[in-house]
Structure 1
Amino acid sequence: MKIVRLLILLAVLVGGLVIGSLNSQPIEISLAFWVLKTTSGLAIIASLLVGALVGGGMVLAGLVVPMYAKLRRANKAASAAVSEPAATVQSPSPFDGR
Protein backbone atom coordinates (compact mmCIF):
# COMPACT_ATOMS: atom_id res chain seq x y z
CA MET A 1 0.00 0.00 0.00
CA LYS A 2 2.89 2.37 0.69
CA ILE A 3 4.23 1.77 -2.82
CA VAL A 4 0.86 2.71 -4.33
CA ARG A 5 0.76 5.94 -2.32
CA LEU A 6 4.29 6.77 -3.37
CA LEU A 7 3.45 6.17 -7.04
CA ILE A 8 0.34 8.37 -6.80
CA LEU A 9 2.38 11.11 -5.11
CA LEU A 10 5.02 10.90 -7.83
CA ALA A 11 2.36 11.05 -10.58
CA VAL A 12 0.77 14.13 -9.02
CA LEU A 13 4.17 15.78 -8.62
CA VAL A 14 5.11 15.09 -12.23
CA GLY A 15 1.71 16.36 -13.37
CA GLY A 16 2.23 19.58 -11.42
CA LEU A 17 5.70 20.04 -12.90
CA VAL A 18 4.37 19.49 -16.43
CA ILE A 19 1.51 21.96 -15.90
CA GLY A 20 3.89 24.50 -14.42
CA SER A 21 6.47 24.20 -17.17
CA LEU A 22 4.00 24.24 -20.09
CA ASN A 23 2.13 27.27 -18.72
CA SER A 24 4.87 29.75 -17.95
CA GLN A 25 3.23 32.92 -19.27
CA PRO A 26 3.15 35.72 -16.70
CA ILE A 27 -0.32 36.83 -15.62
CA GLU A 28 -1.75 39.35 -13.20
CA ILE A 29 -4.67 38.43 -10.98
CA SER A 30 -6.51 41.50 -9.74
CA LEU A 31 -8.07 41.14 -6.33
CA ALA A 32 -9.90 44.00 -4.62
CA PHE A 33 -6.85 45.69 -3.15
CA TRP A 34 -4.01 43.52 -4.45
CA VAL A 35 -2.58 42.46 -7.76
CA LEU A 36 -0.91 39.06 -7.80
CA LYS A 37 1.77 38.64 -10.43
CA THR A 38 2.38 34.96 -11.14
CA THR A 39 2.62 32.42 -13.93
CA SER A 40 -0.44 30.76 -15.38
CA GLY A 41 0.83 27.30 -14.38
CA LEU A 42 1.12 28.28 -10.74
CA ALA A 43 -2.32 29.90 -10.85
CA ILE A 44 -3.82 26.70 -12.31
CA ILE A 45 -2.21 24.49 -9.66
CA ALA A 46 -3.22 26.85 -6.84
CA SER A 47 -6.82 27.01 -8.06
CA LEU A 48 -6.97 23.20 -8.27
CA LEU A 49 -5.65 22.93 -4.71
CA VAL A 50 -8.10 25.51 -3.38
CA GLY A 51 -10.97 23.77 -5.21
CA ALA A 52 -10.01 20.39 -3.75
CA LEU A 53 -9.81 21.85 -0.23
CA VAL A 54 -13.17 23.63 -0.53
CA GLY A 55 -14.80 20.53 -2.01
CA GLY A 56 -13.37 18.33 0.73
CA GLY A 57 -14.60 20.74 3.38
CA MET A 58 -18.08 20.71 1.88
CA VAL A 59 -18.16 16.91 1.84
CA LEU A 60 -16.90 16.84 5.43
CA ALA A 61 -19.53 19.31 6.61
CA GLY A 62 -22.37 17.92 4.52
CA LEU A 63 -21.86 14.17 4.81
CA VAL A 64 -19.20 13.02 7.23
CA VAL A 65 -20.13 15.05 10.31
CA PRO A 66 -23.87 14.17 10.10
CA MET A 67 -22.99 10.50 9.57
CA TYR A 68 -20.75 10.51 12.65
CA ALA A 69 -23.57 12.09 14.67
CA LYS A 70 -26.00 9.45 13.42
CA LEU A 71 -23.50 6.71 14.27
CA ARG A 72 -23.03 8.10 17.80
CA ARG A 73 -26.81 8.16 18.35
CA ALA A 74 -27.09 4.59 17.06
CA ASN A 75 -24.27 3.41 19.33
CA LYS A 76 -25.89 5.08 22.35
CA ALA A 77 -29.23 3.47 21.53
CA ALA A 78 -27.61 0.07 21.05
CA SER A 79 -25.70 0.26 24.33
CA ALA A 80 -28.86 1.37 26.15
CA ALA A 81 -30.81 -1.54 24.62
CA VAL A 82 -28.12 -4.03 25.65
CA SER A 83 -27.74 -2.74 29.20
CA GLU A 84 -31.48 -2.34 29.85
CA PRO A 85 -32.45 -6.06 30.03
CA ALA A 86 -29.47 -6.81 32.27
CA ALA A 87 -30.55 -4.11 34.73
CA THR A 88 -34.10 -5.46 35.15
CA VAL A 89 -34.53 -8.32 37.59
CA GLN A 90 -36.79 -11.06 36.33
CA SER A 91 -39.47 -12.09 38.75
CA PRO A 92 -39.74 -15.80 39.49
CA SER A 93 -42.34 -17.67 37.50
CA PRO A 94 -45.47 -18.75 39.34
CA PHE A 95 -45.02 -22.16 37.75
CA ASP A 96 -42.82 -24.18 40.10
CA GLY A 97 -42.22 -27.07 37.75
CA ARG A 98 -44.40 -29.78 39.42
Structure 2
Amino acid sequence: MKIVRLVVLLAVLIGGLVIGSLNSQAIEISLAFWVLKTTSGIAIIASLLLGALVGGGMVMAGLVVPMYAKLRRANKAAATASPEPATPAAQAPSPFDGR
Protein backbone atom coordinates (compact mmCIF):
# COMPACT_ATOMS: atom_id res chain seq x y z
CA MET A 1 0.00 0.00 0.00
CA LYS A 2 2.88 2.36 0.75
CA ILE A 3 4.30 1.78 -2.72
CA VAL A 4 0.96 2.73 -4.31
CA ARG A 5 0.87 5.95 -2.28
CA LEU A 6 4.42 6.75 -3.30
CA VAL A 7 3.63 6.15 -6.99
CA VAL A 8 0.53 8.38 -6.77
CA LEU A 9 2.53 11.08 -4.97
CA LEU A 10 5.24 10.98 -7.62
CA ALA A 11 2.66 11.09 -10.44
CA VAL A 12 0.99 14.15 -8.93
CA LEU A 13 4.36 15.82 -8.39
CA ILE A 14 5.44 15.15 -11.96
CA GLY A 15 2.07 16.36 -13.25
CA GLY A 16 2.43 19.59 -11.28
CA LEU A 17 5.94 20.12 -12.61
CA VAL A 18 4.77 19.52 -16.18
CA ILE A 19 1.83 21.90 -15.80
CA GLY A 20 4.07 24.53 -14.23
CA SER A 21 6.77 24.27 -16.87
CA LEU A 22 4.47 24.19 -19.90
CA ASN A 23 2.39 27.14 -18.70
CA SER A 24 4.94 29.80 -17.88
CA GLN A 25 3.17 32.83 -19.34
CA ALA A 26 2.84 35.75 -16.95
CA ILE A 27 -0.75 36.61 -16.05
CA GLU A 28 -2.49 39.10 -13.81
CA ILE A 29 -5.49 38.02 -11.75
CA SER A 30 -7.54 41.05 -10.84
CA LEU A 31 -9.35 40.71 -7.53
CA ALA A 32 -11.51 43.37 -5.95
CA PHE A 33 -8.85 45.56 -4.38
CA TRP A 34 -5.57 44.06 -5.56
CA VAL A 35 -3.95 42.39 -8.52
CA LEU A 36 -2.11 39.08 -8.25
CA LYS A 37 0.75 38.66 -10.71
CA THR A 38 1.76 35.03 -11.32
CA THR A 39 2.32 32.48 -14.04
CA SER A 40 -0.52 30.54 -15.58
CA GLY A 41 0.90 27.21 -14.34
CA ILE A 42 0.86 28.32 -10.72
CA ALA A 43 -2.65 29.74 -11.18
CA ILE A 44 -3.86 26.41 -12.60
CA ILE A 45 -2.31 24.37 -9.77
CA ALA A 46 -3.60 26.78 -7.11
CA SER A 47 -7.12 26.68 -8.54
CA LEU A 48 -7.06 22.87 -8.62
CA LEU A 49 -5.89 22.77 -5.00
CA LEU A 50 -8.51 25.31 -3.93
CA GLY A 51 -11.22 23.33 -5.73
CA ALA A 52 -10.14 20.10 -4.03
CA LEU A 53 -10.17 21.78 -0.62
CA VAL A 54 -13.60 23.36 -1.16
CA GLY A 55 -15.00 20.07 -2.49
CA GLY A 56 -13.56 18.14 0.45
CA GLY A 57 -15.04 20.67 2.87
CA MET A 58 -18.44 20.33 1.24
CA VAL A 59 -18.28 16.53 1.51
CA MET A 60 -17.25 16.81 5.16
CA ALA A 61 -20.08 19.22 5.94
CA GLY A 62 -22.71 17.42 3.89
CA LEU A 63 -21.95 13.75 4.54
CA VAL A 64 -19.29 12.96 7.11
CA VAL A 65 -20.38 15.21 9.97
CA PRO A 66 -24.06 14.13 9.80
CA MET A 67 -22.99 10.47 9.64
CA TYR A 68 -20.83 10.89 12.76
CA ALA A 69 -23.74 12.55 14.55
CA LYS A 70 -26.05 9.71 13.54
CA LEU A 71 -23.47 7.16 14.71
CA ARG A 72 -23.11 8.93 18.08
CA ARG A 73 -26.89 8.92 18.55
CA ALA A 74 -27.08 5.23 17.64
CA ASN A 75 -24.27 4.34 20.06
CA LYS A 76 -25.92 6.36 22.82
CA ALA A 77 -29.27 4.65 22.18
CA ALA A 78 -27.63 1.23 22.17
CA ALA A 79 -25.84 1.96 25.44
CA THR A 80 -29.06 3.01 27.20
CA ALA A 81 -31.09 0.15 25.74
CA SER A 82 -28.87 -2.71 26.90
CA PRO A 83 -28.45 -2.86 30.68
CA GLU A 84 -25.05 -3.43 32.19
CA PRO A 85 -24.31 -7.02 33.22
CA ALA A 86 -25.26 -7.64 36.83
CA THR A 87 -22.40 -8.01 39.28
CA PRO A 88 -22.63 -10.86 41.73
CA ALA A 89 -23.76 -9.61 45.14
CA ALA A 90 -21.63 -12.00 47.14
CA GLN A 91 -18.33 -12.91 45.64
CA ALA A 92 -16.68 -16.15 46.64
CA PRO A 93 -13.59 -15.63 48.77
CA SER A 94 -10.34 -15.82 46.90
CA PRO A 95 -8.13 -18.82 47.62
CA PHE A 96 -5.22 -16.42 47.78
CA ASP A 97 -5.28 -14.75 51.19
CA GLY A 98 -2.71 -12.06 50.39
CA ARG A 99 0.27 -13.35 52.39
Give deviations 1:67-98, integer Å, cap 9, x for gaps. 000000001111111117x57xxxxxxxxxxx
List 4+ stretches of structure 1 deviating above 6 A: none
Equivalent position of 2:54 in the other structure: 54
Distance 2:25 2:32 in 1: 23
Q: Tell me by how many angstroms 1:48 deviates.
A: 0.2
CA displacement, residues 9-33 of structure 1 (integer Å, 9 cap, x when unaligned): 0000000000001111100000111
Provide structure 1 residue ranges, at least 5 long, that are not aligned to the other structure.
Answer: 88-98
* Structure 2: unaligned runs, 5 residues or longer: 87-99
Q: TM-score under structure 2 normalisation?
A: 0.83
Helix, strand or coil at the partner of 1:33: coil
Partner Cα distance (2:21, 2:83) in 1? 64
What letter matches 2:69 in structure 1?
A: A
Which protein is richer in helix relative to its size?
Answer: 1
Query: Aligned Cα RMSD in Å?
Result: 1.3
Three-state SS of the structure 1 residue aligned to 2:33 is coil
Identity, in percent, stands at: 86
TM-score by length of 1: 0.83
